[in-house]
Structure 1
Amino acid sequence: MGLFNVPQYINVEDKVAGPLTIKQLLWMIGMGATLFTMWSLLSKAVFFLLGIPTALLFVAFAFYRPYGQPLISFVFSGIRFMFGPKVYVWKRTTQKMQVNYQQRQNEAKQEKAMESQDDRRRKALENLKGIAKIIDSKGTEADEDVVSILKKPEVRK
């Protein structure tokens, strides 16, 4: 029988560039592109005024994980909650339930048959445990119910 290694950390993302995952790397590249565009289009004073919050926002999207989920998912969940309905109203389906009396009786009979079958299986399992106990103890310990069953002749239906 072959041995197989089971992965231990399947919920940890792979690192692609040093300590950065692919998502973090893409957020950092997006931040760099955005800041470069702002640098080339805006004056220095406006760039520093808008660039620092922009950089902080991108860093938060890349690294901050509230409640174990990415910040972008957290933000979208909040937006969906704010604009979604707050109360769920039950909507009845148009399909009418038609249950026949005969069908209910058949279901009751089937349930009773299943219960009796489960009881028989449970009793057979208990008897099997008793027989195993007799065999393991080499006959010194005996379950009275099992001994009485073993002494009865087999009856076939």
Structure 2
Amino acid sequence: IGFVGYSGGEGSAGTDPDEAAKFARETRIDAMAISVGNVHLQQDKEGGLDEPRIHAIEAVTEVPLVIHGGSGVPVAQRRALARGSSICKFNIGTELRMAFGAALREAVNKDPSRFDRVTILKDTHDPVVAATRKVLQAFKGEN
């Protein structure tokens, strides 16, 4: 509900809490993606989510919330919201695609005579798994 924009492109249009409540009530959805300052394809963690808007949506809905463009959300805010809000899912595709792209470039450049896609792509597995583990471990925090 609302519109999640793109880094370097069209900006986001935030979710209206009343519209979210109506949509959740009328559709009886299982989870609802919202626009609260999140941006697709954001490569840095300098963004941040509009927590007052999140709380306003939570006040009028009972549905779990989803954040598209979660790669741009600062890790500490991601952790705090995962623990203390209705947000149940952060989409972090950009973060993982960045790890994949770096690993793929390294694999291709490591041996210019290598051409088999299977052997090249094998070299991307461990870096993507490591990036995924890093994201998941960050939800635990320091303690």
- Scaled by the length of structure 1, the TM-score of the pair is 0.26
Q: TM-score, normalised by structure 2?
A: 0.28
Larger Rg: 1
Work out which structure has the larger RCO, using CA pairs closer than 8 Å and 6 or more positions apart in sequence. 2
